[in-house]
Amino acid sequence: MNHDPRQETDFGYQRVSPGEKTRRVRGVFDSVARKYDVMNDLMSFGAHRLWKRFALSQTGLRPGQTALDLAGGTGDLARVLARQVGAEGSVVLADINDQMLAVGRQRLADAGVFGNVHYAQVNAEALPFPDNHFDCITIAFGLRNVTDKEKALVAMCRALKPSGRLLVLEFSQPVAPGLKPVYDWYSFNLLPLMGRLVAQDADSYRYLAESIRMHPDQETLKTMLATAGFVRCLYYNLAGGIVALHLGFKP
């Protein structure tokens, strides 16, 4: 049975059905899960740690509060969130991909993080959490892989407590003069090469480069947050706009 082209979504530069995108994204992260952290360090020259550190400085979390780390993968944000909320607080590390979640659970166990971190395999578009539940939701380098971003943002807003905040850390569009051609050459030449040499998977890293280009730019994503119900929306450009941190608050 043919699907309606109007219902198609992007998978990198290809147009596919929503179900096909979900299946293909799962395949990408099944493939790269074990090498994900190593590749992040190589691809960003370690800068992803600084970007995440800045994002974590904006959570506003206090001991005893609750946080959700969506698309939390290998758990590097959840580890710090757990420290921010303390033993009386609670963090949920959530990911749609069971392979990524397994790596995250193992990494946190190895780091001695127990007790206040819980794990959930969830789809960001249909969060299985009560309304008004979390003080903060983070999603780092995951929103661009979500099939229906608008639906996911609405779900995140619903799950936040009033005055709770959403932090979206994601690749964005370079704004520094002269950066875009250099960044494009790096993305479409070196990224697939590193993927082939380190993760034995050039195609997945070619998709990641394409998915960054298809992701909404800074102002568009800011508007999407406002449309989903967030207020006081703002963003910070990092690394000349290669990465942006968006914040939105639930009224």
Give the domain ranges of the chain.
5-176+206-249
What is the distance, to the nearest Å, from the Cα of residue 244 to the centroid of all Cα atoms in its chain? Answer: 12
Residues whose CB falls within 8 Å of the CB of residue 106, separated by 6 or more in sequence, listed in order: none
The better pLDDT of the pair 30, 152 is held by 152
Q: For the domain covering 5-176+206-249, report its CATH number.
A: 3.40.50.150
CA distances to 92, 181, 189, 216, 250 from 43, in Å: 27, 17, 12, 21, 34
Asked whether residue 26 carries a pLDDT value surpassing 80, the answer given is no
**Tens-digit pLDDT profile for residues 149-164:** 999 999 999 999 999 9
Cβ atoms 53, 42 nearer than 8 A: no
pTM equals: 0.88
Asked whether residue 3 carries a pLDDT value surpassing 50, the answer given is no
- Return the pLDDT at 32: 62
Q: What is the mean pLDDT of the chain?
A: 89
**Torsion (CA) 46, 196, 149, 161 in degrees, nearest 10:** -40
Task: Provide the percentage of residues in the chain whose pLDDT is more than 90.
Answer: 63
Residue with tokens 């407590």, as numbered in its chain: 161
**Tens-digit pLDDT profile for residues 202-222:** 787 788 788 888 899 999 999
- Put residue 225 in one of left, alpha, beta given phi > 0 → left and psi -120 to 50 → alpha: alpha
Residues whose CB falls within 8 Å of the CB of residue 102, separated by 6 or more in sequence, listed in order: 33
